Amino acid sequence: MSALYTGGMVFDGTNKPIEGHAVLVQGQRIDKVAPVGEFDGFSGRRVETIGGTLMPGLFDCHVHLCYDAAADPFTAMSKVDDAHLVIRALRHAQAALRGGVTTTRDCGGKDYLEFAVRDACNSGEFLGPTIRAAGRMICMTGGHGNRMGRVADGTDDVVKAVREQIHAGCDFIKIMATGGVMTPGVNPEDAHYTAEEMAAGIGEAGRFHRHTASHAQGRDGILNAVRGGIDSIEHGIFMDQVCCDEMKAAGTYLVPTLSAVNNILRHADQGIPAYAVEKSQRVAERHRTSVKMYYDAGGRIAMGTDAGTPFNRHGENALELEYMVDIGMLPLDALMSGTSIAADLLRESERGRIQSGCFADLLVVNGDPSEAITMASRKENHRLVVKNGVEI
């Protein structure tokens, strides 16, 4: 089945939107991107995009499908049996897709339950985005994420934990380099794993062709992760100039997740645990400064939200684009962070761009999102979501 998207502008994921071009989709993939005149005589189905922009579907490089954005997500999740939790995670994935996100990266689930959702969506058995999943996040005893992660101490145990995730079927490895906001009794500033433990886990993941992500908020933990060869730093709150320089030199991606702290602060009086509110208030301005620092340095930034954390709802993922622009990113750069740059981080060479041969993961929005980011960030400005050539 073919469809020609024509009439409006085209943002290909890497360049400023252009006029006068159309995109032909054949089956699941993009067949041709060319000036409109080259499609004279096309007699198949046409999708008019006049007054809008056709762009790649968005990526969210940091979600937690098992969390439901409750005021206290871990407590809420612990009250749900596994069968219902799988259904809930599927519902969250489908909400993200309807919100314009065609690819997600789950950065830590519960007992591999999210793998069933991943497999069902990726196979086409159920409607959903393409999902890449880490399985159980790897953390130290008492560390951030210990309530649902794989606790490991020492280099040998960290290596074993990585192997367990690979054996379970993970797509990538997530290792916790520092404390965090949503775990009681830990400080975001503190490094958790040593440099040797980080390097051992990252190296083992690479040996088996998995990319790596690290929850890393404090300065020393960021450096431990970067020097160990991590692919992406998640959050990066207390980055300093040394971190920035070393990340840029190593080609490390930053996944800011501005949505997480923003939503905690906006709903601070609605039942969120006091320790999470206090830590969010402490880190908020530093977080914004660090993301802007890396952006100004020309670092690679990929969109991620931490969806599932308090009031950070699946389906509202695209608002992260707006938050990135709020801290000083140009709209076009934010759009690239949510499409082609994110695809590069996830090693998705056939997604995140509108070009011949890529999967037809598409989003049609009103207006020009490179001029007004709200055209892409707000669902009311979305006209159509397309997943693998199928209109959602």
Q: What is the mean pLDDT of the chain?
A: 97
Q: Where does residue 53 rank: exposed (0-12), middle (13-18), buried (19+ CB within 10 A)?
A: buried
* Model confidence pLDDT, tens digit, residues 40-79: 989 999 999 999 999 999 999 999 999 999 999 999 999 9
What is the C-alpha separation between 306 and 106, in angstroms, rounded? 9
For helices 219-228 and 241-250, give the axis angle rounded to 10 degrees.
20
Same fold, 2-56+353-391 and 58-317: no
Closest CA to 6 of 53, 39, 48, 41: 48
* CATH number listed for the domain at residues 58-317: 3.20.20.140
Instruction: Give the DSSP per-residue string, 33-100.
Output: EEEGGGGTT--SEEEE-TTEEEEEPEEEEEE-TT----SSHHHHHHTS-HHHHHHHHHHHHHHHHHTT
Instruction: Output phi, psi for 294, to 5 deg.
Output: -70, -35
Confidence of residue 344 (pLDDT cuts 50, 70, 90): very high
Domain 2-56+353-391 has CATH 3.30.43.10: no
Report the pLDDT value the prediction gives residue 292, as an integer from 0 to 100: 98
* Model confidence pLDDT, tens digit, residues 229-248: 999 999 999 999 999 999 99
Confidence of residue 376 (pLDDT cuts 50, 70, 90): very high
Report the pLDDT value the prediction gives residue 132, as an integer from 0 to 100: 98
Prediction pTM value: 0.97
* Model confidence pLDDT, tens digit, residues 159-212: 999 999 999 999 999 999 999 999 999 999 999 999 999 999 999 999 999 999
Query: Would you list the domain boundaries of the chain?
Result: 2-56+353-391, 58-317
Residue 1 scores a pLDDT above 90? no
